A and B are shown apart, each in its own frame.
Chain A
């Protein structure tokens, strides 16, 4: 089991006359009812890192196994959304796009957004999908939403390469801020994971969540500057608008890559604080509900 590090492993428990010295190396697990709030058990998570890897790898593998066009799906979703947006919002409604060609303006936001939306959906369903495993084997349950969120990164990378291609096509060169891209990717991972923790735990109790999440994501899409720039939101609403953590993430991503975008200083700070709050709250709530997952799921 992964509860042991290599040092402890040298001690084998077969012999009861082992000297006390080496007995100290044997891991002792204490089982009792837990009450109240718990935060992360980092040590345990680290010990289970290989399981994170295997579950992530499984998610990726299974996703492409029985599909005819495999990885192309990663592009199709954001790309076609971009085309529709370009036609209706860009061409017909003439929504401004920060001086960028509308297609790349929309696509540069749709890439991180699609990653976020898919990861959140996966994470929400992760516990219920692994119901059988949860009721039979112990491991930190947090690993399930975590590996769902990580598994989506492959799609993200595929969609991102298309974005690079489009930049060449439109002759747009990245700015010096491109080094911040990983930061914004990280922020969308954390947001999807944080919200995913809440929703997956809720989904165990109330299966309605599964249906609600699709709707939530749909609304969220329009509350985020994807099809339109943040500048069309009136100044006095911006603070409120910034409470949506994805505002800072999407705007930041676009700005870092294309060099055009609106004021993202304060709204990014608000976004980050909200993300941190969601994450901490999500961990606490998840850990609190975790005890009953196997009984209720």
Chain B
């Protein structure tokens, strides 16, 4: 059903964006690594998250058509590299589409990053004006909102201090405060709520709620499924640059988390050779869940410990490598992240030579509540480089049979169900 032209704030037809490979990451020359990998034996099959490729080019966005009506608040989700940011960049005119066209009716404000154009030598006051102007505000608009911005950022006392003396938290607060006071008819927001401390995040979320409640049109990219569901009635799912699905947020988020993770006890990566150069020096091979008997299983009993086995290959020797696992609920709520280097006493593995490694992580008994969980992998070099990461790989369920308190028939809310120690004494 096509809406009346007047109601449409954003309409896009066949938007596509092609990047030349290497254009976005010009500093890497991993030719040697690739040849090394070619000589190592592992199978090839299509990798799910690899965007479509032509020789020498990559389609970051492919034939995306959409229509957003005035006043709609639409979430955009998808894996890293699915084209979310590219879509917002095209709609905010930062970059041009390679093909297709879009029409935007109304004043556009884009918030792809907070604090764009901040200069450390300038004071808070000066940066508010500068940043506001860069974001597209008029001087008198900033004049009018100035006090509001300052009090929102809670930096009244430091308003005439150079920003370089601000704490990271103050910096972020000020940056968000300026951006939050933009008053465009159409707002494009990319992942900016993921900054600052929890208190401030809540405040920002509140502000975003006000904004979305005012009848503005909002396109909102986030990795935080809970936030998406709280703010956006509708959500778009992008996959490999294509628009995969549009519907109610609850539904789309569910599909996304399901589609991304297979309910299975194991996930085996199949890398296309040409995809390997994007990976860097860590190539994930397999991820498995082993139940208490050591069998691969997508279902584990809560009353026993179970193990997660992650196999990977290092294509060169490396120091300060960190390999971790992530756990989320199917609703997208984070449960925890754990790294192989969390315990400081295990220093022996700090330097790893190239080769295949098997990491085993044991999850103790009586930790998780019953339900379905999504397991992911996060790797990187400490403080230097992000390597492979994907937070949605395997879905597995936890069975409470004979678990903590299971003799009580009631369901328990919460993601964990630990076996706490209780002692009760008669006190008279």
Contact = CB atoms under 8 A, between A and B. Distances in A.
Interface of A: 1-4, 12-16, 18, 20, 23, 26-34, 50-51, 53-55, 58, 61-62, 65-66, 130, 132-139, 291, 294-296
B108 A1 contact: yes
Contact of A32 (B4, B100, B122): B100
A23 B121 contact: no
A176 to B, nearest CB: 40
A26 B104 CA distance: 10
Contacts of A135: 89, 94
Contacts of A295: 19, 23-24, 95
B117 A3 contact: no
Interface stretch (B49-57, B125-133, B263-271): B125-133
Interface of B: 4, 6-7, 9, 12, 19, 23-24, 69-71, 89-110, 112-113, 116-117, 119, 121-122, 126, 129-130, 133-139, 162, 184-186, 214-217
B17 to A, nearest CB: 9
Contacts of A23: 6
Contacts of B138: 2, 50
Contacts, number: 146
A2 to B, nearest CB: 5
A31 B97 contact: yes
Contact of B70 (A16, A130, A133, A136): A16
Contacts of A34: 96
B139 to A, nearest CB: 6
A33 B134 contact: no
A28 B104 contact: yes
A16 B71 contact: yes
19 contacts: A1-B108, A1-B109, A1-B137, A3-B136, A13-B70, A14-B71, A16-B6, A18-B6, A28-B104, A29-B103, A31-B12, A32-B101, A51-B133, A53-B133, A54-B134, A61-B121, A137-B135, A137-B136, A294-B89
Contacts of A58: 119, 122, 126, 130
A4 B70 CA distance: 18
A272 B122 CA distance: 39
A13 B19 contact: no
A1 B89 contact: no
Contact of B96 (A15, A28, A33): A33
A55 B117 CA distance: 10
A127 B343 CA distance: 45
Contacts of B217: 13
A72 B196 CA distance: 41
Contacts of B184: 1
A294 B93 CA distance: 10
Contacts of B24: 295
A61 B100 CA distance: 42
Given A26-B105, A137-B135, A61 B117 contact: no
A27 B106 contact: yes
Nearest to B72: A16
A9 to B, nearest CB: 8
A32 B100 CA distance: 6
A138 B93 contact: yes
Nearest to A22: B6
A167 to B, nearest CB: 36
Contacts of B9: 13
Given A13-B185, A29-B108, A65 B97 contact: no
A62 B103 CA distance: 38
Nearest to B101: A32
Contact of B126 (A2, A14, A61): A61
A15 B6 CA distance: 10
Contact of B98 (A2, A33, A130): A33
B66 to A, nearest CB: 13
Given A2-B136, A29-B108, A137 B116 contact: yes
Contacts of B69: 16
Contacts of B136: 1-3, 137, 139
Given A137-B110, A137-B116, A32 B97 contact: yes
B110 A138 contact: yes
A131 to B, nearest CB: 11
B130 A137 contact: no
A262 to B, nearest CB: 45
A113 B150 CA distance: 43
Interface core residue of A15, A58, A291 (most chain B CB under 10 Å): A58
A18 B70 CA distance: 11
Given A14-B185, A14-B215, A23-B6, A31 B108 contact: no
Contacts of B106: 13, 26-27
Contact of A137 (B97, B112, B126): B112
Contacts of A66: 121
Contacts of A53: 133
